[in-house]
Amino acid sequence: MKDSEGLKEARIALAREMFDVALSAVSAARCLPSHLPPPPEGRRLVLAVGKAGAAMAEVALRHSPPGTQAIILTPYGHGLPHGTFSADALLIEAGHPLPDQHGLSAAQTIREAVCDLGDRDQLLALISGGGSALLALPVEGVSLDDKRRLTRELLFCGATISQINCVRTHLSQVKGGRLAALAHPAEVVTLAFSDVPGDDPALIASGPTVADRTTLADARRVIERYRITVPDNVLAVLNDDRHATPRPGAPELARADTRIVARNRMALEAAGEAAAAAGYKPVYLGDDLEGDATELGIVHAALALHHQGKGGRWALLSGGETTVLVGNPSGSGGRNSEYMLSLAMSLDAAPGISALACDTDGIDGVGGHAGAIVDESTLARARAAGMSASGMLRENNSFSFFNALGDLVFTGPTRTNVNDFRAILIDG
């Protein structure tokens, strides 16, 4: 029994170490310096938007000429300590995932600053996930409250992040390449941390500096698919071709260049190296997995049991972004903890298997946790505590479930964001 307990604890410790290694591999300090462009002849404006914004701006400003102006827009709690930035940098924290007045005011400030750039100037856009909610500047005829209500419905209905951003893009003055168009004729260099499956830069933070390939019709189809009721003023915008976004090849985007500098695959590969060093063979299940969190947990449990039956030691690694269909609006949890609860139920206390799933931004839905861990004792401890795993899953109460067991993972804001990280360690 002692050996079994020791192995279980070792697997959990390794899973946590792998997550730390993964986060380090996609940090701004690691990923950004080699991609920074040379300074322009004129002014450089650093615009950092998203959950990694503060860390990205700090690195970029260290490599920029003195007096470089910066506007940093990040969620509450994702900034850096007072005094980190000079007086030439404006740090603004705003609402996420629902936009708020601070985000609206920040977007107006950003719009004015970008419009002031000339042909000798450079907009250095540092974009990361979360930017779509933060950069909230609705088109004329749509209010901030309209966007908040619509965003809430999209989050609760099970829409993917790509679908949510498609709708938000076509209701914005600055998304879908519009910000780069406003900066024309300045040079626009975008360095992005990808938090979207497939690493499409147009989808990261709704692509404020990237040509948009979606259409108004695409946005309408998302609303129709999920049967979302929207007010007439919002429908009027989505039916008006004047609100179409800049397309690839648009002349106002001719001086815009985009590079993805951090992505989920980098995090998974770093974790895989740590697993291999500990004697586990890494198996990459994909860095762009989508779909329902509960269903993915069932599938991954089957894969884990299959590999266990082959013998040996395995590390199943995956990323992407699942969705949760919220049946209980008062529930507490997130997509990673919901995936883990489903995984634990499907593994049914199989010995020799431990797992961790966390969001790389450090925030997994409601509760302030990054994610959770499971092992062969999870279900037995839950029963001893008087909890029904299936009942908690039905009620979207995965946070409460793992919190009662002491199996939540807390990191606080990591100031990076490359989507979800999942690791299943198997001793055959």
Residue by residue, pLDDT tens for the chain (428 residues) are 344 778 889 999 999 999 999 999 999 999 999 999 999 999 999 999 999 999 999 999 999 999 899 999 999 999 998 789 988 999 999 999 899 999 999 999 999 999 999 999 999 999 999 999 999 999 999 999 999 999 889 988 888 888 988 999 999 999 999 999 999 999 999 999 999 988 999 999 999 999 999 999 999 999 999 999 999 999 999 999 988 999 999 999 999 999 999 999 999 999 999 999 999 999 999 999 999 999 999 999 999 999 999 999 999 999 999 988 777 777 788 999 999 999 999 999 999 999 999 999 999 988 889 999 999 999 999 999 999 999 999 999 999 999 999 999 999 999 999 999 999 999 98
Pairing of strands 420-427, 313-320: antiparallel
Residues of the chain with CATH 3.40.1480.10: 2-25+265-427
Which pLDDT does position 238 carry in this prediction? 95
CA 151/CA 138 separation, integer angstroms: 12
Checking phi first, is residue 67 left (phi over 0); if not, alpha (psi -120 to 50) or beta?
A: left
2-25+265-427 belongs to which homologous superfamily? MOFRL domain (3.40.1480.10)
Q: Which pLDDT score is estimated for 1?
A: 39
Query: Could you tell me the sign of the dihedral formed by the alpha carbons of 132, 137, 140, 141, in that order?
Result: positive
By three-state DSSP, how is residue 161 classified? Answer: helix
pTM: 0.92
What percent of the chain is predicted at pLDDT more than 70? 99
In the prediction, which pLDDT does 340 show?
A: 98
Question: What pLDDT digit, counting tens, does each position of 255-287 carry?
Answer: 999 999 999 999 999 999 999 999 999 999 999
Asked whether 230 and 163 are in contact (CB, 8 A), the reply is no
Backbone angles phi, psi at 151, to 5 degrees: -60, -45
CA distance 267 to 43: 34
List, by residue range, all CATH 3.40.50.10180 domains of the chain: 28-262
For domain 28-262, the question of CATH label 3.40.50.10180 is answered with yes
